Structures are given as C-alpha cells and as structure tokens.
A and B are shown apart, each in its own frame.
Chain A
Amino acid sequence: MTQPRVCVLRAPGTNCDSETAFAFERCGAIAERVHLFRLLENPAVLKDYQILCLPGGFSYGDDIGAGVIFSQKLGGPLVEPLREMLSRDTLLLGVCNGFQVLLKAGLLPGGTQNWPPSGARDVTLTWNENGKYTALWVRLKNTAPHNAFLKGIDEIDLPIAHAEGRLAVRDPGVLSAWQKQGNVALCYVPKAGANGVRPTEAKLEYPENPNGSFANIAALSDASGRVLGLMPHPERFIDATQHPRWTRLGLTGDGDGLKVFQNAVDYFK
C-alpha cells in the first residue's frame, strides 16, 4: 500500500480537523474528515481506513472535563469496530483534545489490550498548573523512538495551546513501568544553555514545562508504538515559516511537525 486512508474524526466542538487532514494529505495520504455522528450511524466505515486521528479542539465544549464526553462516545457501539481496526496493522493518533479523549477513553497508555478498562483510571489530563489557557512554543525530547509517528525524531519544537494539559497520576510509582513499556513518548525539555549544556532534567518549571505535567510528560505511546497521544500540535508546524523564530534560526522548507504525519504515511509503504 502506498497511499493510506486517514479518518480524521471530528465531533461537535472540534476545530483542528481541516489543518490536520491537510497535513496528512501533504504527506501523500488520503484524508477524510468524518463526523462522529456519521461513524455512530455506520461504524463499519472504519474498515476503510488505515489511520484514525482525533484532532484538537474543544469537543462538547469541554463539558465535565476536556475530552470526557467524546471519550464516552468511543465506548458502546464503537468498541468492537475500534478494536477490529486497531487489531489490524493500523495507527491511532490523538492531538491535544484528541489526546485527552484517548486518555480518558482508556486507549492510552495501555492501547487496545484489555480495552475498555474495567477499573478506574490512574492517569488523567487536567487543569494547567497556572490555571490558565496557555499557548506557547515548547521544546520536546523523543523518548519513544519505537513509536511509528516519532521515528527519526530526536528533539522537536512544537506549539501548545490548552487549558487542561497537565498529566496527573494517582501513583507516581507508575513512571518506572511506563518507562519500561515505552509509554513515555515526548517530554518537555529545557533549551540548552550558552555552553550547550542543559540544566537538570528534574521537574521543570513554566514555561519549559508549560502546564506542570508529571515527569515533564507531553505525550504517551502504547507499548506497540502504533498509538500516540500528544498535547502539542504538530499540524501547526508543517512549514518552517510557522516557527516564531524562523528568520533568526534560518529555517526553510518543511516544519518539524510534518515529520509526525510523514512517518505515519511512510509506515504503510
């Protein structure tokens, strides 16, 4: 297969679906924006796709909590079609609100194994430490090179724009298990100092860790590396000129974020 088909799943309040579909198409995929209601009417259409992407936005107005209502809709009649799709060699991406949905649906960090989970979640994305909607650029380190979306990426600049992006856990001891299983996918990192040496990589403060996330985590992967959820927006950096410092840094051509989508398309070559 050379041209994968992408389902960009939107719900009421989603607002990043067009640019996300555009990013996939620019990398050679066939991307279709599909409304959740159409999918609920006919879940079998998932068989037509190799990539499922939940884009950013404010699904259902963030009622009760960001991504909560959308995540509930993925249960019920969509459980079996989703399980069937992900049992094939397919990819699943959640960006910002899409990450919140995947996490609250229980598809991350565990993937489709034992999904949907029977017990209470032990991880969530909740209000930023500063209590504010926060939009800025961050530096990220790839800590899950096995993830299909992150292949060949070491560090990357991306923008974030969210109010509920702080990863919080019930038990901090879960980190060692996540690290063993390759669940920690991207971490916020500080910029290098003048001597090229980074300060300590312990808990970072704002703005390097912009929301106060546990262990500076910005993205989670499942163990298979076929599912990724991230708070930053790769679809907002597909051209070098979208970077706020592109002239001073001398950036040209594609933006770093495009690599995430290119990796997904290339996975099927």
Chain B
Amino acid sequence: MNFRIHVRVMPRTGLLDPQGQAVEHALGALGFNEAGDVRVGRAIELHLAAPSRAEAEARTRQMCDKLLANPVTEDYLLQVEEG
C-alpha cells in the first residue's frame, strides 16, 4: 500500500521558541499587533510504501526520532493518507 505522510514538527510546548518570538516581533513592527503566541516549526511530506497504515506510521515515527525532529526540543505530529 502507498501512503502520503504529512509530518508537522513544532517546538516543544513550554520550551523557548526564538524563531516564533522573532516572527511575532516582526509582525508587531508591521502593525499586526493582534498576533500573539507565534510559534515556528516545519512541515515535511513524503511518500511511503508499507503493508499497512500502522506500519507506515511506525516507520515514520522512527524517521522522526532519528532525523526529522530534534528529540531534545521538538515534538511532531503525523497525518497518514492512503494514496
């Protein structure tokens, strides 16, 4: 089976997010003072062939733990779609 995986990597809640703070300050400088609690992460998409949805998710979690996310400072969310 083929899967399309969406990985969303975000700074861990409660930890400092300097990029988010910098973007928030920049938005304020442009007059968007209503924007707050800005956080910056990254999105990664990939195709994966696996025998099942559970297997596809398990393999992607291994990828995140080893490479795609920083285990000290980041958390990740997965969205798995068939096709």
Which of A's residues lie within 8 Å of B, judged by CB? 64-65, 68, 72, 120-124, 126-132, 168-170, 212
Taking residues whose C-beta sits less than 8 angstroms from the other chain, chain B's interface range is 10 to 19
Is B72 in contact with A131, judged by CB distance below 8 angstroms?
Answer: no
- Please indicate the chain B residues that have their CB under 8 angstroms from the CB of A132 in the complex: 18, 22
**How near does chain A come to B21, taking the closest CB pair, in angstroms?**
6
Q: How far is the CB of B33 from chain A (nearest CB, A)?
A: 19
Q: Are A121 and B72 in contact (CB-based, < 8 A)?
A: yes
Inter-chain contact A126/B67, CB cutoff 8 Å = no
Find out whether the CB atom of B19 lies under 8 angstroms from the CB atom of A168.
no
Determine the chain A residues whose CB is within 8 A of the CB of B71 once the complex forms.
120-121, 124
Most buried by A among B16, B68, B71, B72: B72
Contact call B72/A122, Cβ cutoff below 8 A: yes
CB-nearest residue of chain B relative to A123?
B72
For B72, the chain A residues whose CB sits under 8 A away are 120-124, 126, 168-170
Other A-B pairs beyond A64-B68, A121-B72, 6, CB < 8 Å:
A121-B71, A126-B70, A127-B18, A130-B22, A131-B22, A170-B72
Chain B residues contacting A123 (CB-CB under 8 Å) are: 72
Q: Which residues of B contact A64 (CB under 8 A)?
A: 67-68
| B73 lies within 8 A of chain A by Cβ | yes
Structural contact, A168 and B73, CB atoms closer than 8 A: yes
Q: List 5 A-B contacts (CB under 8 A).
A: A64-B67, A65-B70, A126-B72, A129-B16, A131-B18
B45 within 8 A of A: no
- Name the prevailing secondary structure of the A interface residues: loop
What residues of chain B lie closer than 8 Å to A120, measured between beta carbons? 65, 71-72
Q: Cα distance A131–B72 when bound, in Å?
A: 18
**Nearest Cβ distance between residue A13 and chain B, in whole angstroms?**
17
- Please measure, in the bound complex, the distance between the C-alpha atom of A269 and the C-alpha atom of B52, giving whole angstroms: 60
Chain B contacts with A in 48-74, Cβ cutoff 8 A = 65, 67-68, 70-73
Closest chain A residue to B69, Cβ basis: A64
Q: Distance in Å from the Cβ of A28 to the closest Cβ of chain B?
A: 39
| B16→A124 contact, CB < 8 A | no
Evaluate whether A72 and B67 lie within 8 angstroms (CB atoms) in the complex, with A122-B72, A126-B72, A168-B72 already known: yes
* Cα–Cα distance between A127 and B67 once the two chains are bound (Å): 17
- In the A-B complex, the 9 residue pairs with the smallest Cβ-Cβ separation, listed nearest first, are A131-B18, A131-B22, A124-B72, A120-B71, A127-B18, A126-B73, A170-B72, A131-B19, A131-B21
Interface bits B12-43 vs A (CB < 8 Å: 1, else 0): 00011011011000000000000000000000
Given A65-B70, A122-B72, also A130-B65 (CB < 8 A): no
Residues of B within 8 A of A130 (CB): 18, 22
Closest to B71 in A: A120
Evaluate contact between A124 and B18: CB separation under 8 angstroms.
Answer: no
A72, A124, A131, A170: residue with the most chain B Cβ atoms closer than 10 Å = A131
Q: Which residues of A contact B15 (CB under 8 A)?
A: 168
Closest to B22 in A: A131
Measured between C-beta atoms, what is the minimum distance from B38 to chain A in Å?
A: 11
